Amino acid sequence: MVFSSIPFLFFFLPLFLIVYYLVPFKRKGIMWKNIVLLIGSLIFYAWGEPIYIGLMLFSSLVDFYNGKMINKYWHEPKIKKLFLVISIIINLSLLGFFKYADFIIANINNIFNLSIQPLNLGLPIGISFFTFQTMSYSIDVYRGKVNYEKSFSTFMTYVCMFPQLIAGPIVRYETVSEELHHRKINYSLFNQGVIRFLQGLFKKVLIANNIGLLWHEVSTIPSLELTLVMTWLGILAFALQIYFDFSGYSDMAIGLGKMLGFHYLENFNYPYIAKTITDFWHRWHISLSSFFKDYVYIPLGGSRVSKIVNIRNILIVWLLTGLWHGASWNFVLWGLYFGIILLIEKFVIAKWLKRQNNVVKHAYTIILLLIGWAIFASSDMLYPKEYLLTMFFGFDRFISTKTIYYFCSYFLIIAIGILFSTPLYLKITNWLNNVTNPKLKLIYSLIFIIIYMLLFVISVAYLVSDTYNPFLYFRF
C-alpha cells in the first residue's frame, strides 16, 4: 500500500468506505458491495500502476475461464488436466517474463560473453501475489476443493481486493469464497478491523521506518569501514525492519478486510520467538509457506517418499522460495541456505535440539536468521560476503565512535522493536480483557483510546513530513 500517498490516506479510503457501507449487499441478484469493492480496487491499483491493470485483468480472465472449463469437463480427466496445465503455464510465464527476463538475459550475457540488451521492464506491483492467487484457484477447482465461480465480476473482486493486492497475504479463493457471496458487516467487526489496521500502521510507520534508518545508514558504509559490533547492530535493525514492515502491512490488510466483512488468515505468528528455523518458517509469511507446501512440496511427494527424494523436494521448495522473492542470486543463495538448514534440523540435529534449553535454541535460531538476513538484504553478492566476514571475524575492527553513536541514537527504537516482536502486547490486551471491575475497565479503555489517538497523530505527522518510508515487499 502506498502509504506515502497522502491523497490515498485522506481521500480515497474514507470515501471508498462511505460508499461501500451505503450501498446494499444485494439487489436484483447483483452483489453491489462487490461492484464497489472491484471498482475501488481497480482505482487503487491504477493509482500506483495504471499501465499493468490489463495484465491483472488478463490473468484473472485466464483463470476464470480455465476454472469454468475444468468444471465443464469434470468427467473427462485429460481435457480437465489440459486446462489446468494451461493455467499454470500462462501464470508462470507471465510471472517469469516480467520478473525474471532481465535476470536470465544478464546471466546469459555473463556465461557466453554476449551483449543482449535487457528489456528493462518495470515489475508490476503485486504480480507475485495475484498470479499465485489466480493459479491456486484453478488448482483448487481441479482438485475439487472449491466450486468454480460463475460470475466473472465476483472472481475479479477476489483477485483485485485492494487490502491485500499489493503485498499479501496470499489469499486463496477457498478462504473468501463464502464471504464473496454472503458476508456480514457489523460494529464489532468494524471496530476490530480499525484497531488491527492501526496496529499495522504503527508497526510500519513508527517502528519499521525508524529502525530502517539505521540499516540504511549501515548498508551505505563501505565494507572496510564496518566494525564487528556495527554489522550485528545493522543486521538486527534490518531483521526488525523487515518484520515490522511486512507484518505491519499484513495487519493493515487483515484489518481492512474485517472492515469490509472478510476474514483473511494470519500471516505472522511472532516469528522471532521461534526456537528452531523450522519453527520460524511456520510463523513467518505463513501464506507463502503454506502455498509452497500445498502446491509444490506435497505434489512432489512431500515426506512420504524416500529420504533422497524428500531432500530433493525440500531443496526444490526452497530454491523456488528464494526465487519468488526476487531475480537475484542472493535470493537463490538465501533460499538454499534455509533449505540446507531445514534439512540439517530434520535429519542431523533434531535430537540434539530437543535436548537443549530454550535459551540455547533461541540463540541458535536468531544467529542463523541474522546470517540469512545478511544474505537477503543486498543483491550485490560481494557485500554479504564481506559483511558476514566482518560479523564473525572483524575483531581488528571491533567497535568505533560511529558504532557507539548509532547504538546510542537507535537503542530505544531497537528495544521497542524487540519488545513488540514478542507477544507482550497480546498478553497486555488479554489481561485487560479479563478485568471485571467496570470502573477499571472504563479507565483502561479510555487510556487505550488516548494512546491510539496519539500514535495515529504521530504516524500521520511522519507520513505528511515525507520522512524515510520504504516498503520492502514492493519489490517482491
- Segment 280-296, tens digit of pLDDT: 999 999 999 999 999 99
The CA radius of gyration of the chain, in Å to the nearest whole number, is: 24
pLDDT digits (tens, 9 = 90+) for 244-280: 999 999 999 999 999 999 999 999 999 999 999 999 9
The per-residue pLDDT for 4 is: 42
Residue 26: strand, helix, or coil: strand
Grid cell digits, residue 87: 493455467
The per-residue pLDDT for 429 is: 84
Is 90:62 a contact under the CB 8 Å cutoff? Answer: yes
Residue 68: pLDDT band with limits 50, 70, 90: very high
The per-residue pLDDT for 1 is: 44
Say how many CA atoms lie within 13 Å of 434 toward its Cβ.
Answer: 6
Grid cell digits, residue 417: 522493536
Residue 241: pLDDT band with limits 50, 70, 90: very high
The per-residue pLDDT for 278 is: 96
The per-residue pLDDT for 119 is: 87
Residue 30: strand, helix, or coil: strand
Say how many CA atoms lie within 13 Å of 341 toward its Cβ.
Answer: 20
The per-residue pLDDT for 28 is: 62
Query: Average pLDDT for residues 340-353, to the nearest whole number?
Result: 95
Query: Average pLDDT for residues 388-401, to the nearest whole number?
Result: 91
Please tell me the distance from the alpha carbon of residue 367 to that of residue 187, in angstroms, as a whole number.
44
| 6 pLDDT higher than 50 | no
The per-residue pLDDT for 468 is: 65
Query: Average pLDDT for residues 436-458, to the nearest whole number?
Result: 89
pLDDT digits (tens, 9 = 90+) for 149-201: 999 999 999 999 988 887 778 999 999 999 999 888 888 999 999 999 999 99
Query: Average pLDDT for residues 307-328, to the nearest whole number?
Result: 94
Query: Average pLDDT for residues 326-337, to the nearest whole number?
Result: 92
The per-residue pLDDT for 470 is: 65
| 148 pLDDT higher than 90 | yes
H/E segment holding residue 234? helix 228-260
What is the residue-averaged pLDDT of the chain? 89
pTM (2 d.p.):
0.92
The per-residue pLDDT for 465 is: 72
Catalytically annotated residues: 325
The per-residue pLDDT for 231 is: 95
pLDDT digits (tens, 9 = 90+) for 364-375: 999 999 999 999
The per-residue pLDDT for 51 is: 81
The per-residue pLDDT for 7 is: 45
Is 32:25 a contact under the CB 8 Å cutoff? Answer: yes
Is 132:170 a contact under the CB 8 Å cutoff? Answer: yes
| 467 pLDDT higher than 90 | no
Grid cell digits, residue 359: 535459551
Task: Pick 147 or 432 by higher pLDDT.
Answer: 147
Is 246:272 a contact under the CB 8 Å cutoff? Answer: no
| 409 pLDDT higher than 90 | yes
Residues 6+ apart with CB under 8 A from 47: 2, 5, 8, 12
Say how many CA atoms lie within 13 Å of 98 toward its Cβ.
Answer: 18
Query: Average pLDDT for residues 295-313, to the nearest whole number?
Result: 94
Please tell me the distance from the alpha carbon of residue 246 to that of residue 243, in angstroms, as a whole number.
5
